[in-house]
Amino acid sequence: MIAGRGKARIRPPRRGLHGDEVDFDMTWATIESAFREIHTKNASKLSYEELYRHAYRIVLKKKGEHLYNKVHDFERDWLSSEVRASIQQLLSPNLVVDAQSVAGTTANERRVAGEKFLKGLKQAWGDHQVCTSMLADVLMYMDRVYCADQRRPSIFNAAMVLFRDEILHSPVAETATYTILGLLNDIILDQIQMERDGDVIDKQLIKSCVWMLEGLHQDEVESEEQRLYNTSFEVAYLDQSRNFYRRESELLLRDSHAGAYCKHARRRIYEEDERCKQTLLESTAPKIQQVVEDEMIKNRIHELVEMESGVRFMIDNHRLEELNFVYDLNKRVDDKKTEITRAIQQRIVYMGSDINKDAIAASQAPAAAPAADSADKGRGAAQEKSLNQQTVAAIKWVEDVLSLKDRFDKIWLESFESDHLLQQAQTRSFTEFINSPTFPRSSEYISLFIDENMKKGIKGKTEMEIDTVLDKAIILLRYVQDKDLFERYYKKHLCRRLLMNKSISNEVEKQMISKMKIELGNNFTLKLEAMFKDMTISEELTAGFKKHVEGLGDRDPKRIELAINVLTSMTWPLESMGGVAAEEEDQRPRCNFPMVVDKIKRGFEKFYSEKHSGRQLTWLANMGSADIKAVFPKVPQKDGSFKERRHDLNVSTYGMVILLLFNELPADQHLTFEEIQAQTNIPNNDLIRNLQSLAVAPKTRILIKEPMSKDVKPTDRFSFNEGFQGKFVKIKVGVVSGGNKVESDRERRETEKKNDDSRQFCIEAAVVRIMKQRKELSHQQLVSETLGQLAGQFKPEVNMIKKRIESLIEREYLERVEGAKIDSYRYLA
Amino acid sequence: MAETAREELINSLKSLLSSSEYSDFTITCGADAYKVHKAIVCSRSGFLKRAEKFPFGKKSAENMVNLPADDPAIIKCLFHFLYGCDSNDAPIDRLLHAKMYEITDKYNLRGLKMPTREKFTLEHAFMSTPDEDQGLREILYEIVVSHVVLLEQTSVEELMGSHTGFAFSVIKRQAAELARLKSS
């Protein structure tokens, strides 16, 4: 490989390995002149190898430090004289003044002057970097050996620091304290402000200067936060921005509407983000975001939400997109979205309360003026009309609430991005107004809504539509706190529907029950299911009895056909049937049935007792109906012929009893009220109402009343109306208060009282259950556990619980624990 | 397998140098001209790397670097080693070896495949005939004294440790150097 001249003598070098007297000054002169050429971009004749060698030899001769200092001084001088002079030339007289105060020249002039400065500075910086890089290349050996060894900054880094000190920190004028760096910052800030105002600026140019600031540090610490960019520029930028956005947000709120504000804020946020990417540094992004969010959102969100065009307006005018903007802004500064949640809740409760108020107002409004011939209508009819009006108000309430829910569900889905917290808040608000103490009718109204649908509403609807309707009821039911009250109403209404055969479909009834089972539990639906069972059994009994009778012997053409409903006594809410007044509650309706009816009655009783010995049947004459075939004597027709008229009359049981009295009576004779009363034993009120329906109601005057008037006096006389004319063969004689209606205030109070009574039992049962298990509990714990156990049924008042506890103590179920620090109780076995 | 691959690589490097194929860089030293490859030499030498990118000068435009102040024999050695050659199959020139140390330092060369018998070279150099040694020894002293970096090499360290005479001489020269510096 290497042809060895192995044996040749090696002479010791005469002048050392590299020439003994490395003359420093001469060498340095060469190097310095080369550096000058480099700086003046005149380096074409230079040889890298030669320069490198010069520096190498100097360091080898242990003169590294000397060289380093010389280079350092050279650079410093170059910067402070040549470079600084060129920078000074960029400063127009106005530039300095304008940068510090905005007034004076036009925006365009300022922009142009600023750009000139930035360009010049960028150029100087660029040149400096290139030159320094070349110097460092040439001095590589010194860097490696001397600097590393002596722990001095590399010549490149030292030169960077020199640029900072000699250029950036130099004053703009001899006596000024304002520095080039300060000017640079102000110019950039000014340009950015112009961009915010809509002008186009040279982003790339600014970015170049930003890079310069990024590469330099405030002092020796070389951390990110100590970069000149951060300590000098960024601080000023954030301050200026803060002031700007504070002012802008104030003006915007004053001058434009909420939706526009939101859009603007979003735009600014986006702009700032882009600015950090394109013009500044990305590390500023989170900090400026914070500034914008603080000034435009956090400090203003309350005003924004509350302003005239704010959330309330948006809700009322279906501005879903704007609501989404507000939500989005709120979310940025607050995880809980407190402001918008509050506004939504307020609105829901307000609108809900309005719905409540409307319902109450509608139900208390004076009855619509009756028709002209009011004398013909019974007083009951007018009352009926007003009650119908109330029922209508109830239905409307349900539909309004559901409609409100739909509206806010839509907002929740589209504007609030199905936000979990907002869903909870909305639920709370709905619960609030539905269970408001000023509106105690929710349970009743919901039950009426279902009632109306079961009787009429679902007619003609598809399975899916029906399901939707039922689900609506369930949705509302979920909000109701007094579920026991609802149960009470539902039973009452269901009872009437079943017994008067008003339901369109038994299937749908059962469907509703099973939905309620899921929602409210088994206990609730047990009694309801029992009612259905009774109806089924009653059908079987009716069929069975009919067969039984047929089997007995010849068919009597005049035999009465019986359709029977046997009701298990505790299952059905019978006290609410037939308008029996509270005072007469204890009295079962009594009635003297005509013989034919009595016969069939006894026949059935016998039949039933053979099936179920030991059970007692009580007949409810105030309920039920009868179909009577009535024959009216011939009357002359228009065309001269005579025709006997037959009608099928459908009347109440009492009505039947009354009419049959007239069968034995000659046509020209009459019965007085008192006589009828004595013979039938029908309670007064019922008798009056039934006589009104048979003799006063215009289309169903089967009887003639003397004297003719709306009200019925004991001395009034009644006779069979031979001349009765009815349009149709089948005539139904309706009695006032047939259907389910909204309760009068009196009735409502009664219902509530009954409900409270049964609640007391429930509370006591719960307390005993709890104490039996826990043996000893503090008062607070007992109350809260009781509340918890009963939550599914109703919300007991704390006072009621207290009273029940005291009652239980009196009755020695519990005792107070003596000497305990806090009120406590003990279970007494 | 790996061995074969490595051998292949070294063989191809060697042939690149001898054939001058794909050469994009020329280094001249004395009468010699080496057609080398930037990818290979500039990645191994800080000096060559910077020389290559130095933006001014006629030479750089022509992708040429001249080394007027270096010993052509050393340079030859340098490139041979850079291109994977081994000196095992040729007699070792001790002086050359010493100078190789020097050039490694001067031109910031990395991972030069020096002959494995470094230690031998230095010891050998040290223990040979006085006449020869004087010359060689002087050179060694100069090198070690100037190139402080070399002190870190284990071979030098060991030599200093096992041959106190050598160490003493080095120290003497260091002292003289310091004195000279102080006075100038």
Which residues, 6+ apart, have CB-to-CB distance to A429 below 8 Å? Answer: A344, A345, A348, A349, A352
Q: Residue A618: what pLDDT?
A: 87
How many distinct structural domains can be found in chain A? 5
Quick one: closest CA in B to A135, which residue? B54
Rounded-to-integer distance, Cα A162 and Cα A156, Å: 10
Which residue of A13, A62, A141 is in closest CB contact with B181?
Answer: A62
CB A244 within 8 A of CB A193: yes
- Minimal C-alpha gap between B91 and chain A (Å): 7
Q: Are residues A175 and A35 in the same domain?
A: yes
Q: Is residue A126 one of the residues assigned to a domain?
A: yes
β-strand B25-29 against B64-66: which pairing, if any? parallel
Does the structure show a pLDDT above 60 at A368? no
Tens digit of each residue's pLDDT (9 = 90 or more) over A41-60? 887 788 899 999 999 989 88
Q: Is residue A819 one of the residues assigned to a domain?
A: yes
- Minimal C-alpha gap between B162 and chain A (Å): 24
Residue that is last in its domain, among A439, A457, A476: A439
Contact B51 A44 (CB under 8 A): no
Interface A-B: count of C-beta contacts within 8 A: 102
Q: Is residue A683 one of the residues assigned to a domain?
A: yes
Q: What's the count of helices (H) and strands (E) in chain B, helices before strands?
A: 10, 3
ipTM: 0.78
pLDDT tier, A519 (very low <50, low <70, confident <90, very high otherwise): confident
Nearest to A234 by CA among A279, A281, A277: A281
Q: Are residues A711 and A756 in the same domain?
A: no
Q: Are residues A190 and A66 in the same domain?
A: yes
Range name among A105-109, A253-257, A427-431, A471-475 with the lowest pLDDT average: A105-109
Average pLDDT of the residues of chain B: 75
Q: Is residue A394 one of the residues assigned to a domain?
A: yes
Residue that is last in its domain, among A709, A732, A755: A732
Question: What tokens appear for B145 in the block?
Answer: 């004294």
The more confident residue out of A98 and A426 is A426
Which residues, 6+ apart, have CB-to-CB distance to B23 below 8 Å? Answer: B35, B36, B37
Does the structure show a pLDDT above 90 at B52? no
Q: Are residues A84 and A120 in the same domain?
A: yes
Angle (deg, nearest 10), helices B164-183 and B130-146:
50
Q: Are residues A573 and A657 in the same domain?
A: no
- Minimal C-alpha gap between B125 and chain A (Å): 12
b/e per residue A4-31 (b: at least 16 CB within 10 A): eeeeeebeeeeeebbeeeeebeebbeeb
Question: What tokens appear for B133 in the block?
Answer: 């040694």
Kindly report the CATH number assigned to the domain that includes residue A536. Answer: 1.20.1310.10
Q: Is residue A248 one of the residues assigned to a domain?
A: no
Domain boundaries defined on chain B: 131-184
The DSSP call for residue A561 is: P
Q: Are residues A461 and A399 in the same domain?
A: no
Q: Are residues A30 and A137 in the same domain?
A: yes
Residue that is last in its domain, among A398, A413, A439: A439
Q: Cβ contacts (< 8 Å) between A137 and chain B: which residues?
A: 50, 53-54
Q: Residue A620: what pLDDT?
A: 86
Residue A727: how many other CB atoms lie within 10 Å: 6
Question: What tokens appear for A186 in the block?
Answer: 């102000």
Q: Are residues A476 and A537 in the same domain?
A: yes
pLDDT tier, B114 (very low <50, low <70, confident <90, very high otherwise): low
CB A724 within 8 A of CB A632: yes
Kindly report the CATH number assigned to the domain that includes residue A673. Answer: 3.30.230.130
Q: Is residue A227 one of the residues assigned to a domain?
A: no
pLDDT tier, A314 (very low <50, low <70, confident <90, very high otherwise): very high
Q: Are residues A777 and A697 in the same domain?
A: no
CB A312 within 8 A of CB A344: no
Q: Are residues A449 and A486 in the same domain?
A: yes
Q: Are residues A510 and A629 in the same domain?
A: no
Q: Are residues A706 and A763 in the same domain?
A: no
The more confident residue out of B85 and A423 is A423
Q: Domain range spanning residue A465?
A: 442-551+558-577
* Interface mutation vs chain B, best among A9, A37, A40, A49, most B CBs within 10 Å: A49
